[in-house]
């Protein structure tokens, strides 16, 4: 079991560029999440999904998009990157009311 795998681990983007953060899980979890964590801060929910084909906004969705075409994959798309999107991004998956498994994170810098 690989758990939750995120790629890439690090990325530097220029302002206005786009990129996709990949997340895949092999635990057959229905629920998947994207969080961002700014330095010294807590976890803020960007988007979440309760199953394939279903996504919804979290508390900080602006500037991001997601899709969930399969149970395993939940990519996060950044369009027109801005310095405010410099952060560490975590993907997580779970079944309802059970342990959440997190990926190792993607450290993104927008310059």
Partner 1 sequence: GENVEQHPSTLSVQEGDSAVIKCTYSDSASNYFPWYKQELGKGPQLIIDIRSNVGEKKDQRIAVTLNKTAKHFSLHITETQPEDSAVYFCAAPLSWGKFQFGAGTQVVVTP
Residue 73 CA from chain centroid, whole number? 10
Residue 41 interacts with partner 1 (CB under 8 A): yes or no? yes
With contacts defined by CB under 8 A, name the span among 15-23, 36-44, 63-71, 73-81 that binds partner 1.
Answer: 36-44
Residue 102 interacts with partner 1 (CB under 8 A): yes or no? yes
With contacts defined by CB under 8 A, name the span among 15-23, 66-74, 79-87, 96-104 that binds partner 1.
Answer: 96-104
Residue 71 interacts with partner 1 (CB under 8 A): yes or no? no
- Distance from the first to the final alpha carbon of the chain: 36
| DSSP E strands, 1-111 | 4-7, 10-13, 19-25, 31-37, 43-51, 54-57, 64-66, 76-78, 87-94, 101-102, 106-110
Provide the binding-site residues for partner 1, judged by CB under 8 A.
4, 30-31, 33, 41-43, 45, 48, 50, 56, 58, 90, 92, 94, 96-100, 102-105
């Amino acid at each position: 079991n690989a758990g939750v795998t995120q790629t890439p681990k690090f990325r530097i983007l220029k302002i206005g560029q786009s990129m996709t953060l990949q997340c895949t899980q092999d635990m057959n979890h229905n629920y998947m999440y994207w969080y961002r964590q700014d330095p010294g801060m807590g976890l803020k929910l960007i988007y979440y999904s309760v199953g394939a084909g279903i996504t919804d906004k979290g508390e900080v969705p602006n500037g991001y998009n997601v899709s969930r075409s399969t149970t395993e994959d939940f990519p996060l798309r950044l369009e027109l990157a801005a310095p405010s999107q410099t952060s560490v991004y975590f993907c997580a998956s779970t079944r309802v009311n059970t342990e959440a498994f997190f990926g190792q994170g993607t450290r993104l810098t927008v310059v």
